[in-house]
Chain A
Amino acid sequence: MMNLLLGYQPLLDLFLLHLGLAYAQWLVLRAGVFSLGTVGLAAVGAYTGGILVVTYGLPAPLALIASALSGGLVALALSVPLARLRGIYQAIATVAFIQIVLSLNIYATNVTGGAQGITGIPKTVGTPLLLLAGAATIYLMYAITHSRLGRAFDAIRQNEAVAASLGVSIVRHQTLAFVLSGALAGVYGALEAFHSYALVPSQFGFPYLIAILSYVVFGGRTSLWGPIVGTAVLILLPEVVRPLADARMLVFGILLILTINFLPKGIADTLIERARGRRLGARRPAEADTAKGS
């Protein structure tokens, strides 16, 4: 039994690391910010952590705090132009941000190690710490969801004009969501660096972005369960069905198309809505639908 569990430990670690980034992506989408830049912010955090630990010999916990700060600060700076843009333009701008981070990391060889990246990062993060981080993240998201803040995010996502007329400041809330998401991405970027000995710039590129987005879209973009379900299913799927492991990209691609077309709310959100609808009788789900659809 123990052996079996140990065999799956790398998978559990992977799940926890990706879950954190999935929540970072989920948080911005929930506040109606159309950002795809989570991976770039994770890169900022990972490099901050890696450089501080390897080059300057800082202890890992301090470096982790610095990573959170750097992710949050970069997100704060990025939120200024983003606040002036609309939907698709935000998506394009954040994809450009990922490219800028990527090419700067490759260019600044004497700081970031260039294309070779940073090696020899002491491994200070194991499964227990990741479990703790996962629990803390879920609690934090739970707390946000069930506070005034979460309701404000929901209102903005569903209808900006209505939210503004209710006295919810859109710019302030979206900036807050983006900065929180940036700090979270920074922390998980650094956790990834401290977990795997080495960092390379291409690690935080387009494929990673697609993976993170798939988790959130597949699981669900509004409920707390979305990222958990999405990340768990999509990470387990290639492991359970071995022949699929080679065709990971193909499976992700087809799943993305099918999910967004036929289950646009994602698995978890759809199931939760159904359960709620059954509990409240036949009249309510129709209302819930109109409220949810934005």
Chain B
Amino acid sequence: MLLQQLLNGVVVGGVYALFAVGFNLVFGVQRLLNLAHGAVFMTGAFVAYYTVRAGGPLILGFVAAAVASGVLAMIIEVVCFRRLRKSGDAEFGAIISSMGAGMVIMTFWQWVSQTQVLRFPFDTVPVVIYRFWGLRVSLLQLMMAAAAIAIVLVMAWFIYRTAFGRQVRAVTDSERASMLVGINPNRIYNLTYFISGALAGAAGVLVGLAFNNINFTMGEPYLMFGFAIIILGGLGSIPGALMASLIFGMVQTLSIAYLPSGLTTAFIFSAMFLILLVRPNGLMGREEAGSLRGRR
């Protein structure tokens, strides 16, 4: 039972990783929170749903979702953040601006779906259950885990092994210094937002498949979980977000299994509060969460 829950937790954690890594990537590069990330995630689920319903294969829906979400995230950056970053008070402004973007996107999908809960056609993913060592794994779970691992690996290769990744990390360290060595930060921002959005969109498709429930409010809880995950992992740290997502997935499934139902959310966010108190920089974050007076 415990092993089964841990396994389920790892699969869920993989999906969270897709969501949280993108969320954190953007924060790492621009030091801004993108509160429309939940809406981008939801967009992925919707795009995949409409592709599949129009008769396209699931894999096409998956790719379309990732591309559409990536482009959407790029647009959000240009429309909501670019002007703000030059104005000085971007930290507060970005929260407001991206909140607004999230509302616009949510209203759009509410109109398109006419406030209905959408479900993928039966047999989009055949229900097959494998058993080994007394554990049960469904084909869908395997797909989720495989997709999450593959996407994260590709992204890690991209960030840590390519010239583009080096540029991203340079801009993360210092926008000014990277401009001095000839990097165009706006291009880097476009690309990081695209990656971040595409990851969220992929997560949206997987979540839509797993719960077979797509509606215009599905992004909100994930945005909240995303907060908890990046606080645990450390704002801006990608390995931290990965690790935290797996821990979070396992803790969540375990607390659903063993804690009184209904307390899960309270438990998760209280735990997050504790982390903020004891270790505000998370597992692998930079030293920056403390306020001016904290250092005094």
Chain A interface residues (CB < 8 Å from chain B): 34, 36, 81, 83-89, 91-93, 95-97, 99-100, 102-104, 106-107, 160-161, 164, 170-171, 206, 210, 213, 217, 247, 249-250, 252-257, 259-262, 264, 293-294
Contact = CB atoms under 8 A, between A and B. Distances in A.
19 contacts: A34-B91, A85-B290, A91-B33, A91-B95, A96-B269, A99-B266, A100-B273, A103-B269, A161-B292, A206-B220, A253-B100, A253-B102, A256-B99, A260-B93, A260-B96, A261-B80, A264-B87, A264-B93, A294-B88
A239 to B, nearest CB: 19
A253 B104 contact: yes
Contacts of B33: 88, 91-92
Nearest to A248: B107
B30 to A, nearest CB: 12
Contact of B103 (A99, A170, A256): A256
Contacts, number: 145
B288 A86 contact: yes
A292 B227 CA distance: 31
Nearest to A171: B293
Contacts of B276: 81, 85, 89, 92-93
Interface string B250-282: 000000000010111110011011001100100
B148 interface: no
Contact of A96 (B91, B99, B272, B292): B272
Given A160-B292, A253-B100, A92 B231 contact: yes
Interface residues of B, number: 51
B5 interface: no
Of the candidates B101, B269, B272, B292, the one having the most CB atoms from chain A within 10 angstroms of its own CB is B269
A167 to B, nearest CB: 14
A188 to B, nearest CB: 22
A88 B91 contact: yes
Interface string B227-260: 1100100010000000000000000000000001
Contact of B289 (A85, A102, A253, A256): A85
B289 A249 contact: no
Contacts of A247: 107
Contact of A257 (B100, B260, B291): B100
A34 B293 CA distance: 15
B215 to A, nearest CB: 15
B262 A93 contact: no
A86 B276 CA distance: 11
Contacts of B141: none
